[in-house]
Chain A
C-alpha cells in the first residue's frame, strides 16, 4: 500500500507466526526497507500483530499480520534485527507476550493498562555493573531545567560515560486509548494536537491525512498548502531554538541569544496566522479555518528575509569559532552501522549517512513538488546534527519561498467529511522536524475507530542518544542530549 492509502482490513495477509517472522526479517535485509511500525491489538481473544515495512525506494508499505496469545512464548524478531527491539518490548509490556531470545525485554512507558501491574516506574530493572572503580549517576525524573521528565542512569568510569540507560514513561497520558474513547471528531483532533507541543504541525498533519483517507476525502490544494507550510515553518522554528540551546550548553552566549531571538518571530508568525504560537488550531481535516492571504504572504516574505540575513551572519560567526567546533566535532558519535541497526529515523539517521526522509520516499501533501533531496552527513556526531539543522533551515526557507509563489485559492464549497469507512486500515507517515511520524488506524464493521496507534520518531531514536554518549565525558551529556532533542511526551503517549 501507499502512504495515506486506505485498504480493507481483511486484505492484509495473515501469516503463521514463523512465516511472519521470516518474511519481515528478510525484508529488512534490503537496505531500502525499514520498519515503520510493528504493534498489536486485541482481536477475538487473541493479539493480532501487524507489521508495516516501508520500501523507501518504491514508496510503498508492505503490511502483514499474524496472531499471538497473551503470555505466549515466541521467538523474537529482534534476535535477527535489532531495529525491532523497541516494538517487541512494547508488545511484551502491553500484552505480556514473552520472547525466548530478546536481549533487552524492559518496560517502555508503563502504560496504565500494562499487562504486568507489578512493574512500575519505581522498580525499573536498570543495567548494573559490579565494580569498585565505576560509579552510577542518576538524574530525574524531574529535570533541572524546564524540561519534561525522564530518568537517566549513567555508569561512569571517572568522568567517562560507559553506559547510559534512559527510563521513560513519566508523561504517559493514555493517548491511544483516548482516541477511541473520545468520540467527537474535534476531540480527536485536539488529542493529535496535544501529543507533542513542539510537533503540533507534524502530529496533526499525520492525523488529518489519515482521517481524510479513512473518509475517502481528497484534500484540496489549499489544505495541503497550509499543512506543508506549517510543517516547514515548524522545522525552521524548532531547529533554530535547538541551535540556541546547543550554544547555551557550550556557554557560547552570543549564539544562544541570537538564535534564541530568531526563533521568536517564527513562532509569533503562527500566532499571526492562526492565533497560537505553536500552531494549535491551524490544521483541521476537510476544513480550513485560517485561509492563507496575500497579506500573510507579505509578512512571511519580509520575516524570512530578515531572518535569513541575521541567521547567515550568526552561523558564519559561530561555526568559524574553534571553541564552538571543539565542543561539537567528534562529540556524541553514532556510527552508520549502529544507527542503521537500531532503525533510527529523521535527523538521527541522516547524521550518519542514512538517507531516510518521508518527504522524499513517501511524499504527502505538496512535497512531491519539491524534488526533495534529504540533507545527510557522515560523522554521526553533534556537529553533524548541528549542520543538518543549519542546512535544513536554509532548505526549508527555499521550499517556503517556492510555496509562496503559488498560493492556492481557498475552496469555499467544500464537501463535509463523510463517515469513516468500515473494516479499514490506514497508515499515515509525515516527516516532522524530528523525523518520521507514523499514525495507524483501524475501523470496525460500522466504520467506528477500533484501534489507533501513534509512533513518534523518538520511539526509535532514544537508543541512539544512549549509544552516542558512550566514551564521552559526562559533561558532554547536555550537548549530546540537545543535539538530538528527543520527545518525552511523544514517546510516552
Chain B
C-alpha cells in the first residue's frame, strides 16, 4: 500500500490544466499560413498526395490534407504550418485556408443546431464508429480520455452502446464493408443526435479517396455537426472542437 502511494505521489499532476490554451510541444503541423508570394502554382499543387492544394488563389483544404508537410519542405517561403491545433469547424468551407489568410478557424454559430446547446452543453456521450482507416484516429481518441488530456472532466465520454449515446464519431474513409454497420449504429442512437467526422480519412477519404472499396453514401444523407481535421486528429484538436460545439451559441 505504501509503495502504491509512493508511486502515485511521484507521478505528479499529469493532466493538462487548461486544454484550451495548452502549448504544443515540438513541431506540430497545425493550421497553415500561405503567404502571397508568387510561385509556380502547378508545381505546388502536384506535390500534394491528396489533392488538398488548389490554385487561383492558392488554398489548402484541411479536410483533405494529411499534414505530411511536404508542400512546406518544397516551398518553405510560401507555406508555413503553425502549431495552432484548433482547426475544427462545423462548416466544411471553413477548413479551406486561402493564401494571405491568417485567422483562427472557428465554428459558425448560426449552423449549430439548437438542440446541441439545449441538451448536450453539460455532458456529451459519444459512440465511436471505426469505419476503415488505419486505427490512428482511434488511438488518439482513446488518448483524449487518458490522464493527460482527461476529456472526462468536461462530461465528454465514449460509451459502449449507441443506445447510451448522444451522437456518433466516425473515423476512417467508410469502407463498403462498414457502410451497413455504420447505418445500423446511427439508427440505434436516440434523437436528437449529432455526427462528428474525426480525421482526414473520414472528412474526405484522405489518401483512400476514390478507392472502389469505399462507400461514403452515408455522408450525403445527414448534416455533419463537426469536422475535425488531422491525420490522425490530435487530442487537443478534438477536445477543443467539441467544447466549442457544445458551448458556443447562436
Contact = CB atoms under 8 A, between A and B. Distances in A.
Nearest to B12: A261
B175 A170 contact: yes
B49 interface: yes
Interface residues of A, number: 63
Interface in A107-156: 110-113, 121-122, 141-149
B232 A278 contact: yes
Nearest to B211: A174
Contacts of B178: 141, 149, 170-171
Interface string A250-275: 00001001101100100010011111
A275 B234 CA distance: 11
B21 interface: no
Contacts of A142: 127, 129-130, 181, 185
A405 interface: no
Contact of B158 (A146, A170, A184): A146
B209 to A, nearest CB: 10
B143 to A, nearest CB: 8
Contacts, number: 190
B135 to A, nearest CB: 4
A146 B138 contact: yes
B63 interface: no
B227 interface: no
Contacts of B24: 271
Contacts of B77: none
B134 interface: yes
Contacts of A141: 178, 181
B234 A277 contact: yes
Contacts of A277: 140, 232, 234
Interface string A454-479: 00000000000000000000000000
Given A254-B4, A289-B69, A274 B27 contact: yes
A276 B232 CA distance: 8
B68 A190 contact: yes
Contacts of B148: 261, 264
A260 B145 CA distance: 11
Nearest to A171: B132
Nearest to B66: A190
A264 to B, nearest CB: 5
A196 B213 CA distance: 17
A42 B48 CA distance: 31
Interface string A275-289: 111101100000001
A151 to B, nearest CB: 9
Interface residues of B, number: 67
Contact of B135 (A264, A314, A487): A487
A489 interface: yes
B181 A196 contact: no
Nearest to A287: B73
A15 interface: no
B111 interface: no
Given A142-B181, A254-B4, A489-B133, A260 B212 contact: no
Contacts of A171: 130, 132-133, 172, 175, 177-178
A166 to B, nearest CB: 15
Contacts of A46: none
B146 A145 contact: no
Contact of B213 (A173, A190, A191, A272): A173
B68 A197 contact: no
Contacts of B49: 182, 184, 186-187, 189-190
Q: Please indicate which of the listed interface residues B8, B172, B185 has the most CB atoms of chain A within 10 Å of its own CB.
A: B172
A195 interface: yes
B57 interface: no
A187 B26 contact: no
B39 interface: no
Contacts of A489: 132-135
Nearest to B185: A142
B136 A197 contact: yes
Nearest to A281: B68
B7 A198 contact: no
A30 interface: no
A95 interface: no
Given A178-B211, A273-B26, A145 B158 contact: yes
B121 interface: no
Given A144-B161, A195-B134, A254-B7, A172 B66 contact: no
B8 A196 contact: no
B14 interface: yes
Contact of A313 (B7, B27, B50, B131): B7
B213 A148 contact: no
Contacts of B212: 112-113, 174, 177
A488 B177 CA distance: 13
Given A172-B177, A173-B132, A194-B206, A272 B66 contact: no
A175 B161 CA distance: 30
Contact of A112 (B158, B173, B176): B176
Contacts of B120: none
Nearest to A314: B7
B130 A146 contact: yes
Interface in B150-185: 158, 160-161, 172-173, 175-178, 180-181, 185
28 contacts: A111-B213, A146-B158, A148-B138, A149-B129, A149-B130, A170-B175, A171-B130, A173-B132, A177-B211, A186-B70, A190-B50, A190-B207, A194-B206, A198-B135, A260-B147, A261-B14, A261-B146, A264-B148, A271-B24, A272-B27, A275-B27, A275-B28, A278-B139, A281-B68, A317-B3, A317-B4, A317-B7, A487-B135
Interface of B: 3-4, 7-8, 10-11, 14, 24-29, 46-47, 49-50, 66-70, 73, 81, 127-143, 146-148, 158, 160-161, 172-173, 175-178, 180-181, 185, 201, 206-208, 211-214, 231-232, 234
Lowest 4 CB-CB distances: which A-B pairs, in order?
Answer: A197-B136, A272-B26, A174-B213, A144-B160
